[in-house]
Each structure stands twice: as C-alpha cells, then as structure tokens.
Amino acid sequence: MSDAASPSSTVPPQATGITLVVTERVRLSKLEAYEAWARRLHALQATQPGFLGLHVLRDAVGPVAEYVTLVRFASPQALAAWRATPAYRSALAELDEFTADEVEYREAQGLEAWFDRPARLPAPPLWKNVIVGIVGVYPLIMLFAWLLRPVTGEWPAWAATLATASLSTLFLNWPVLPWLSRLLRPWLYPTRRG
C-alpha cells in the first residue's frame, strides 16, 4: 500500500483525538473520477471545525484499488458533527458510482489506526503489534538520545528523557509506523492473498 498522490494526504494520526478509518475498494475504470471526488470531499473536510488533517494510503494492486483514508478530528463530537453535515451526506450519495463493494468505516483512537487490519482480515495478534512498536521506537530513542546529547547533556535526567521521548513519539507516529506497517504487512497479515 502506498501513499496516494493527493495534496490532501498531509497529516498523519497523532496520539490524541479520533480517527475515522475509511476503506474503499474503487473500480479501476473509475479511479480518476474517484480521486477528483475525494479531493472535493477533502477540501470540504478541511473547512470543518475540529478537523486536524488526513492521510490517504492506496493499494492499486489487484482487480480493484483499495484506498484507506485516515481522517483526524479533535474529538468524537467534532467527527459526529462532520458526519451530520449535508455536505458529507451529499458526498456519500455519490460514492457508490466509484466503489466495487461496500465501504468500511471504523473509528480509532491514538496509534491503533495505523494497525487497522486490511479489509476482511482479522487483526494481527497483540505480540506482533508490540514487536513492530519496539522495532520502530528503539532506534528512534537511541538516535535522538545521541543527537540531543550535546544540548541535553547538562539537563536533569527526566528533562533529557522527555526531550528524547517527545521526538521519538513524533517520528514514530509519522513516518516510522506507517512505513513499518507497509513493510511488514505480509508478516502482520500472512493470510492476505494478492
């Protein structure tokens, strides 16, 4: 699954707020029309109070293209307000003309959006998610501890650790976890068929 070439796929999930995870399987003959529709929808979302940003992942391998869109809002209430707007309902009315089957919606909080399973597959076991997290965070902690040492060398241990943890968490959310989840997808979801 690769990043979609869309100007609106800009902001990855953070550790707060809520993410609407939308999985759409788009007919190949409708890709261009779908992407134009998605750009209009994303522009509308950007004007909605509480909207934080979105990220689009696209997998164009196979008979249909799978798009996974992670839409970030500051709170469940802000997301619910967006889903109640006439603009959202109107956009949804057009979606069937592009998709090959039913659209899947899931709400997630924090980092769990990055570990959302591919369509119709069970989630990976917790131990696999933990391993991916360790593989992502350990090198970041070591890197930022080393890079920050000239600045934080005289700081109290708790403050130096806070600086390292803050930068590691930021980079873990983006781009490390999205990249690792794509790289390790065959291991995380071994039953998936291409």
Rounded CA-CA distance 12/53 in Å is 7
When mean pLDDT is compared across 86-100, 111-125, 145-159, the lowest value belongs to 111-125
Q: What is the pLDDT of residue 81?
A: 94
pLDDT in tens, 24-83: 889 889 999 999 999 999 999 999 999 988 888 887 767 788 888 888 899 999 999 999
Q: What is the pLDDT of residue 164?
A: 92
Of all residues in the chain, what percent carry a pLDDT higher than 70? 80
Mean residue pLDDT of the chain comes to: 80
| Per-residue pLDDT at 4 exceeds 70 | no
| Per-residue pLDDT at 187 exceeds 80 | yes
Q: Tokens standing for 13?
A: 């999930």
HEC secondary structure over 131-149: HHHHHHHHHHHHHHHHHHH
Q: What is the pLDDT of residue 43?
A: 93
Residue-wise DSSP of the chain: -EE---TT------SSSEEEEEEEEEEGGGHHHHHHHHHHHHHHHHTSTTEEEEEEEEE--SSEEEEEEEEEESSHHHHHHHHTSHHHHHHHHHHTTTBSS--EEEEE-GGGGGGPPPTTSPPPPHHHHHHHHHHHHHHHHHHHHHHHHHHHTTS-HHHHHHHHHHHHHHHIIIIIHHHHHHHTHHHHSTT---
Q: What is the pLDDT of residue 64?
A: 82
pLDDT in tens, 71-114: 889 999 999 999 999 999 999 899 989 998 888 888 876 555 55
Q: What is the pLDDT of residue 113?
A: 53
Q: Taking the chain, what is the end-to-end CA distance rounded to the nearest angstrom?
A: 12
Q: What is the pLDDT of residue 69?
A: 87
Q: What is the pLDDT of residue 110?
A: 58
